[in-house]
């Protein structure tokens, strides 16, 4: 063999192992910054997990707890999958030095108490999956400090008390999904629930609990139903409460509200109710429709748009041929100019019920020359080509040097091309979706399903 052949072979190995220190554990699969050790029968963490990993998949193993500083060397970790293990507790400081975590999946484990220290320091955490555990108690400080939290799933547990009071106007500004469905909540602190920020109330799922029917409960749901929240629309049947706490006397209170006829519900106050956000992109000179669909429904809505370049626009005020507001609130812009870019805010007002709702659309007018170039795709393509080249070097060149170890079977990069293996890493919840027998347990699995509309009696 020539010297050139040796050096190519050496370089290939160097590339595969990403530096001599960072060897992919034999039971794991390492591709780029993704390390997957799922379904490997692990009971404890592999000795040397590569410190460069951004995504670490440890789901479907046999972990029963995680010790302090488990991930302390993985400062780049953003995505940790630990679903389908037998984790009962987490030690103090488990996520010490892993404060970059944004997605944490501990679903389908055996957690019983969510202790205050569990998620300490995870101020970047956006998504927390704890559904299908045995959680009876969520300690009051658990969510404090999780200021980036967007979605938290606690469904299918045995929770009787939840620290609603710890979620306040500015504590969790991005929280839009709090799934507490299918638990054992019975008497909620309704004043705390009513004090939750509007976006949290909109994304709060409480169906299939053991709520006790009373007027303070009904009044909260009445308001949510009036605002047409998805939780009310999609789970009408599953909202039940029990009369006098008797589990046999359970009523579907969104369908049958006779029991609450003597309740007084406060008149809805006029306040901005919802903010829907969306973004559109239009080429210069093009036409764009911005709809003003909000939570408000009905024939008697009036719409006002606030445009960055033209100020307030209503149906009556339009005298510009290039701009129009339709009766359904849709704003039409013809011949869009770059100057028309910006945030458009529509306010829909229902005068009769004294409700208003807003919708925001971020409009970007692009010059036709500025083609959006999908760098993510090209990076992926480049990566695939590189890998194929490496494989060709490994298996097609007559490289028989004695010091060149064959890659271990589990780390064999060919496996990376198995699309099924990759799905579990890139879309972690797919596997769980199939495992869950009915589609109604977990609220967030719902929006994909289409179901016949419920008749409201």
- Under the criterion CB under 6 A, does residue 293 sit at the interface with ligand NAG? yes
| Residue closer to ligand NAG, measured from CB, 164 or 305 | 305
245, 246, 251, 256 alpha-carbon torsion, rounded to 10°: -70
**215/259 Cα distance (integer angstroms):** 9
| Residue closer to ligand NAG, measured from CB, 261 or 400 | 261
- Under the criterion CB under 6 A, does residue 202 sit at the interface with ligand NAG? no
3-class DSSP assignment, residue 250:
strand
Supply 176's token pair: 């839009």
Query: Exposed e or buried b for every residue in 275-288, given b needs 16+ CB within 10 A?
Result: eeeeeeebebeeeb
Q: Which residues pair with 327 in a beta bridge?
A: none
**Least CB distance to ligand NAG at residue 79 (A):** 19
**Which member of 23, 291, 421, 436 binds ligand NAG (CB under 6 A)?**
291
Transcribe 259-285 into DSSP letters.
GGTT---PPPPP-EEEEEEEEEEEETT
**213/129 Cα distance (integer angstroms):** 29
Answer for the pair 109, 86: CB distance below 8 angstroms, yes or no. yes
- Under the criterion CB under 6 A, does residue 39 sit at the interface with ligand NAG? no
Query: What is the contact mask toward ligand NAG in residues 93 to 132, using x (rule: CB under 6 A)?
Result: ----x-----------------------------------
Site size toward ligand NAG (CB under 6 A) is 34
| Residue closer to ligand NAG, measured from CB, 261 or 434 | 261
Token pair 């409201």 is found at 456
- Under the criterion CB under 6 A, does residue 441 sit at the interface with ligand NAG? yes
**Least CB distance to ligand NAG at residue 242 (A):** 14
- Under the criterion CB under 6 A, does residue 225 sit at the interface with ligand NAG? no
| Residue closer to ligand NAG, measured from CB, 30 or 348 | 348
- Under the criterion CB under 6 A, does residue 392 sit at the interface with ligand NAG? no
- Under the criterion CB under 6 A, does residue 174 sit at the interface with ligand NAG? no
**Least CB distance to ligand NAG at residue 447 (A):** 16
**Least CB distance to ligand NAG at residue 28 (A):** 20
- Under the criterion CB under 6 A, does residue 356 sit at the interface with ligand NAG? yes
What are all long-range contacts of 387-395, with beta carbons under 8 Å and residues at least 24 apart?
Answer: 387/413, 387/416, 390/12, 390/15, 390/16, 393/8, 393/9, 393/12, 394/12
- Under the criterion CB under 6 A, does residue 238 sit at the interface with ligand NAG? yes
- Under the criterion CB under 6 A, does residue 326 sit at the interface with ligand NAG? yes
Supply 425's token pair: 């890493």
| Residue closer to ligand NAG, measured from CB, 348 or 425 | 348
**Which member of 35, 331, 349, 361 binds ligand NAG (CB under 6 A)?**
349
- Total count of residues recorded for the chain: 457
**83/60 Cα distance (integer angstroms):** 6
- Under the criterion CB under 6 A, does residue 374 sit at the interface with ligand NAG? no
3-class DSSP assignment, residue 244:
helix
Question: Measuring CA to CA, which residue among 84, 115, 82, 110 is closest to residue 98?
Answer: 82
The piece of 6-14, 55-63, 69-77, 144-152 that touches ligand NAG (CB under 6 A) is: 69-77
**Which member of 7, 300, 374, 427 binds ligand NAG (CB under 6 A)?**
300
CB-count exposure of residue 130 (10 Å: 0-12, 13-18, 19+): buried
- Under the criterion CB under 6 A, does residue 320 sit at the interface with ligand NAG? yes
Q: Which residues bind ligand NAG (CB under 6 A)?
A: 72-73, 75, 97, 182, 208, 238, 259, 261-262, 270, 272, 279, 291, 293, 299-300, 319-320, 326, 328, 330, 337-339, 343, 347, 349, 354, 356, 362, 364, 440-441
């Amino acid at each position: 063999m020539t010297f050139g052949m040796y050096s190519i072979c050496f370089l290939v190995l160097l590339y595969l192992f990403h530096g001599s220190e960072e060897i992919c554990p034999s039971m794991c699969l390492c591709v780029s910054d993704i390390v997957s050790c799922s379904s490997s029968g692990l009971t404890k963490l592999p000795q040397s997990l590569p410190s460069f990993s951004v995504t670490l998949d440890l789901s479907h193993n046999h972990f029963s707890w995680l010790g302090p500083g488990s991930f302390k060397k993985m400062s780049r970790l953003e995505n940790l999958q630990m679903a389908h293990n037998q984790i009962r507790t987490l030690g103090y400081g488990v996520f010490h030095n892993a404060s970059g975590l944004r997605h944490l999946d501990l679903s389908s484990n055996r957690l019983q108490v969510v202790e205050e220290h569990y998620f300490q320091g995870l101020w970047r955490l956006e998504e927390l999956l704890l559904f299908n555990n045995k959680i009876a108690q969520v300690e009051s400080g658990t969510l404090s400090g999780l200021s980036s939290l967007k979605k938290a799933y606690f469904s299918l547990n045995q929770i009787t008390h939840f620290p609603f009071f710890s979620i306040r106007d500015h504590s969790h500004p991005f929280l839009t999904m709090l799934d507490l469905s299918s638990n054992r909540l019975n008497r909620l602190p309704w004043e705390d629930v009513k004090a939750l920020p509007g976006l949290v109330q909109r994304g709060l799922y409480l169906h299939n609990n053991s709520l006790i029917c009373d007027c303070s409960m009904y009044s909260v749901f009445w308001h949510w139903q009036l605002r047409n929240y998805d939780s009310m629309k999609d789970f009408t049947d599953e909202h039940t409460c029990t009369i006098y706490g008797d589990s046999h006397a359970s009523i579907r209170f969104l369908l049958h509200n006779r029991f609450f006829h003597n309740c007084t519900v406060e008149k809805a106050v006029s306040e901005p109710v919802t903010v829907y956000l969306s973004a559109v992109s239009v080429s210069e000179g093009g036409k764009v429709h911005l709809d003003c669909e909000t939570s408000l429904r009905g024939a008697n809505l009036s719409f006002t748009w606030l445009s960055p370049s033209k100020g307030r626009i209503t149906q009556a005020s339009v005298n510009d041929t290039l701009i129009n507001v339709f009766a359904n609130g849709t704003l039409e812009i013809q011949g869009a100019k770059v100057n028309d870019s910006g945030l458009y805010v529509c306010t829909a007002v229902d005068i009769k019920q004294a409700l208003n709702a807003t919708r925001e659309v971020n409009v970007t007018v692009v010059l036709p020359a500025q083609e959006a170039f999908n760098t993510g795709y090209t990076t992926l393509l480049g990566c695939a080509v590189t890998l194929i080249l490496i494989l060709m070097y490994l298996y097609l060149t007559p490289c028989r040097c004695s010091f060149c170890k064959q890659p271990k079977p589990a780390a064999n990069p060919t496996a990376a091309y198995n699309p099924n293996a990759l799905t579990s890493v890139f879309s972690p919840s797919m596997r769980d979706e199939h495992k869950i027998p009915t589609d109604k347990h977990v609220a967030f699995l719902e929006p994909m399903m289409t179901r016949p509309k419920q008749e409201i009696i």
